[in-house]
């Protein structure tokens, strides 16, 4: 069992404890423990098996949590969780995925109506019975019904990072097989979609079928769906993500890669183009209609070339004008990961980060970055130990002293992720913001405002002369929370006019902004930063997911501020 799964069980137990009305301090200890476990670099089950006393050396893990972790590693659960699940059905945890519900509300619903499933909740809202409970009303019923619809639409989807990591582990497992030329992921993962429904892997080589045989021995298989000479399918891990792996002849590899990468809409448009040019296109190759002669299929490039097109990067294959652009030579030169010079959104132990400023700087330097912006939270996020004006000024002084010493090997920017209040004003006074190199303005509260009020709130925030970046600009949490509604075009126009960049937040739970909004903002003259919102050194590696989003939004290096050198970035951040 990996650390992420252990963390999930601890966090779920904290939720159940809160539903049960248990002591807030104990609930918080479980939540802190879950965060510590998820971010710990070593596998805790290996530690529990070899030297369990080391568990209590981990910050945030006391004796009781260490005992729980050992029990999880032995049998997949632990006594306190089992006791709570005996009191509340497991389906109660599903209710926490519905936006607008928290543990206390779920406890109230259970007490009054014994609601334990999403279907029960939906029926309660439609019967208008929620509004009779304290602090609830018609608007909450409407919001919950919308959230249930969103939840069901996203059911069976997985975060891009989860799919990516699962794919990496499978590739490592298959690596020892001899006689394999290549194993390539396709589908939504290759296109960089924010969420993925399943995994498609393509295998070529004289011994490709042996890779299928080995795949059926993968240790995390929970259900083997099929196993033939050309394809094997299975559901993997506790989340039961489906993985399909196909063995292909080399002369059809390009056609199959193109077909299984998708999207469906892109493939339909490409097949229609092929028909107009006298060809048929399938996963087996490109054939002439007249005599069914194969003319391409070994590589994707030769298929697109035969159809009179430049090769189209996978991230663009959504039938959103990419085929026309490829035919006319207008495809953008997309931004690449190796062009990113630094990260402009990172947290430390000054607020809710898990590493010191020096540790984050060291990790960024190891990635080859030239600069890193430290942007801890402002005082409005008291739960995150946000900085007030005095601490902000002291922190900025510390950063400049470190830069002056010159021994970090990387340039640090003194910054802040400053809350945008409900009225659109910034959470910190101007004289404190003026001390900083970069200010990210983000919304973390009052996300349910009417679109007109939210629009006014953002427009007022843009008036701040010290704001450089609008952070995670829709506030969405993938598979958990929809973004807040506002007049995006109007805000983007004003951001472009005032030289305020939009953030592409690379945190896998956000990936915000997304492709459609990125293209719209670019068309209005906006510029962007790709940033990880890192709370741990390992989170800096999420940058590649943000780059995928930027590529899906047709962004070029010139659109992204952190492709600039430090000197160029300093000039670009100037307002006015």
Q: Do residues 161 and 194 lie in contact, with contact meaning Cβ atoms separated by under 8 Å?
A: no
Residue matched to tokens 């900085």: 387
Q: What DSSP string runs through 319-335?
A: TSSHHHHHHTT------
576 has pLDDT over 50: no
Q: What percent of the chain lies above the pLDDT cut of 70?
A: 99
363 has pLDDT over 90: yes
CA angle 193, 552, 447 (to 5 degrees): 70
How far apart are alpha carbons 165 and 69 in whole angstroms?
A: 23
For residues 18 and 456, which has the higher predicted lDDT (pLDDT)? 456
Q: Burial code of 155-177, b = ≥16 C-beta within 10 A, e = fewer?
A: eebbbbbbbbebbebbeebbeeb
How far apart are alpha carbons 565 and 146 in whole angstroms?
A: 45
347 has pLDDT over 70: yes
The radius of gyration of the chain from alpha carbons, rounded to an integer in Å, stands at: 26
CB atoms within 10 A of CB 85: 16
How far apart are alpha carbons 274 and 252 in whole angstroms?
A: 17
Top-ranked range on mean pLDDT: pick from 96-105, 140-149, 497-506: 497-506
pLDDT tens digits along 539-551: 999 999 999 999 9
Give the mean pLDDT of the chain: 92
pLDDT tens digits along 420-444: 999 999 999 999 999 999 999 999 9
How far apart are alpha carbons 523 and 492 in whole angstroms?
A: 10
Tokens of residue 215, six digits: 């795949």
Predicted local confidence at residue 449, as pLDDT: 92
How far apart are alpha carbons 267 and 312 in whole angstroms?
A: 12
Residues in the chain: 576
Predicted local confidence at residue 94, as pLDDT: 79
Helix (H/G/I), strand (E/B), else coil: 205? coil
296 has pLDDT over 60: yes
The residue among 127, 113, 245, 237 whose CA lies nearest residue 183 is 245
Q: Do residues 192 and 549 lie in contact, with contact meaning Cβ atoms separated by under 8 Å?
A: yes
Res. 179 pLDDT band, cuts 50 70 90: very high
Tokens of residue 361, six digits: 């700087």
Q: Burial code of 483-501, b = ≥16 C-beta within 10 A, e = fewer?
A: bbebebeebbbbbbeebbb
Instruction: Give this prediction's pTM.
Output: 0.86
How far apart are alpha carbons 448 and 453 in whole angstroms?
A: 10
Please give the torsion angle defined by the CA atoms of residues 386, 392, 394 and 397, in that order, rounded to the nearest 10 degrees.
130
| Contact partners, residue 569, CB within 8 Å, separation at least 6 | 341, 342, 371, 561, 562
Average pLDDT over residues 227-248: 93
Res. 338 pLDDT band, cuts 50 70 90: very high
How far apart are alpha carbons 502 and 319 in whole angstroms?
A: 25
Q: Do residues 248 and 203 lie in contact, with contact meaning Cβ atoms separated by under 8 Å?
A: yes
135 has pLDDT over 90: no
Res. 575 pLDDT band, cuts 50 70 90: low
Helix (H/G/I), strand (E/B), else coil: 133? coil
All domains of the chain, ordered by start, with CATH? 3-154 (1.10.150.110), 158-248 (3.30.460.10), 253-327 (3.30.210.10), 337-572 (3.20.20.140)
How far apart are alpha carbons 376 and 386 in whole angstroms?
A: 7
Q: Do residues 456 and 424 lie in contact, with contact meaning Cβ atoms separated by under 8 Å?
A: yes
How far apart are alpha carbons 70 and 66 in whole angstroms?
A: 6
Tokens of residue 23, six digits: 């002591």
The residue among 514, 481, 509, 542 whose CA lies nearest residue 159 is 509
Euclidean distance between the first and final Cα of the chain, in Å? 53
Q: Do residues 391 and 377 lie in contact, with contact meaning Cβ atoms separated by under 8 Å?
A: no
Q: What is the largest CA-CA distance in the chain?
A: 79
How far apart are alpha carbons 509 and 85 in whole angstroms?
A: 27
Q: Do residues 438 and 573 lie in contact, with contact meaning Cβ atoms separated by under 8 Å?
A: yes
How far apart are alpha carbons 326 and 319 in whole angstroms?
A: 12
């Amino acid at each position: 069992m990996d650390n992420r799964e252990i963390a999930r069980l601890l966090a779920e137990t904290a939720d159940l404890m809160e539903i049960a009305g248990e002591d807030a301090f104990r609930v918080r200890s479980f939540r802190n423990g879950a965060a510590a476990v998820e971010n710990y670099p070593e596998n805790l089950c290996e530690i529990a098996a070899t030297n369990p006393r080391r568990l209590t050396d981990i910050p945030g893990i006391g004796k009781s949590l260490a005992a729980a972790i050992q029990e999880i590693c032995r049998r997949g659960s632990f006594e306190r969780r089992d006791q709570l699940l005996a009191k509340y059905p497991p389906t109660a945890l599903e209710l926490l995925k519905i936006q607008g519900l928290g543990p206390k509300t779920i406890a109230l619903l259970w007490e009054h109506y014994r609601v334990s499933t999403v279907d029960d909740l939906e029926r309660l809202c439609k019967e208008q019975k929620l509004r009779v409970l304290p602090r609830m009303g018609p608007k909450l019923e409407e919001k919950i019904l919308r959230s249930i619809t969103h939840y069901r639409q996203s059911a069976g989807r997985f975060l891009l990072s989860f799919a990516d990591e699962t794919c990496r582990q499978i590739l490592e497992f298959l690596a020892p097989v001899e006689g394999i030329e290549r194993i390539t992921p396709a589908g939504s993962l290759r296109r960089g979609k924010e969420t993925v429904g399943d995994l498609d892997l393509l295998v070529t080589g004289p011994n490709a079928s042996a890779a299928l045989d080995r795949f059926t021995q993968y240790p995390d298989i929970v259900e083997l769906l099929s196993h033939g000479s050309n394809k094997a399918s299975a559901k993997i891990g506790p989340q039961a993500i489906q993985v399909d792996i196909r063995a292909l002849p080399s002369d059809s590899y390009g056609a199959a890669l193109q077909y299984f990468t998708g999207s469906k809409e892109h493939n339909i448009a490409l097949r229609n183009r092929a028909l107009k040019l006298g060809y048929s296109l399938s996963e087996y190759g490109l054939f002439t209609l007249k005599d069914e002669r194969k003319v391409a299929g070994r590589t994707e490039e030769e298929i697109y070339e035969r159809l009179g097109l430049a090769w189209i990067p996978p991230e663009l294959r959504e039938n959103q004008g990419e085929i026309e652009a490829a035919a006319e030579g207008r495809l953008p030169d997309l931004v690449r990961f190796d062009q990113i010079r630094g990260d402009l959104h990172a947290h430390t132990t000054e607020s809710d980060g898990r590493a010191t400023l020096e540790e984050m700087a060291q990790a960024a330097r190891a990635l080859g970055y030239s600069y890193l912006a430290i942007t801890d939270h402002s005082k409005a996020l008291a739960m995150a130990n946000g900085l007030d004006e005095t601490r902000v000024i002291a922190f900025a002084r510390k950063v400049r002293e470190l830069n002056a010493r010159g021994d970090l090997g990387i340039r640090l920017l003194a910054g802040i992720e400053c809350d945008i209040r409900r009225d659109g004003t910034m959470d910190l006074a101007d004289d404190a913001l003026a001390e900083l190199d970069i200010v990210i303005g983000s919304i973390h509260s009052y996300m349910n405002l009417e679109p007109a009020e939210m629009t006014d709130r953002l427009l007022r925030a843009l008036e701040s002369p010290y704001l450089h970046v609008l952070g995670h600009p829709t506030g969405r949490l993938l598979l958990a929370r929809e973004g807040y509604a506002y007049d995006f075009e109007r805000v983007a126009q004003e951001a472009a006019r005032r030289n305020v960049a939009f953030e592409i937040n690379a945190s896998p739970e956000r990936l915000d902004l997304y492709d459609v909004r990125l293209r719209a903002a670019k068309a209005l003259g906006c510029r962007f930063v790709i940033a990880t919102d890192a709370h741990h050194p390992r989170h800096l590696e999420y940058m590649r997911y943000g780059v995928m989003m930027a590529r899906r939004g047709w962004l070029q290096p010139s659109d992204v501020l952190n492709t600039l050198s430090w000197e160029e970035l300093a000039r670009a951040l100037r307002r006015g």
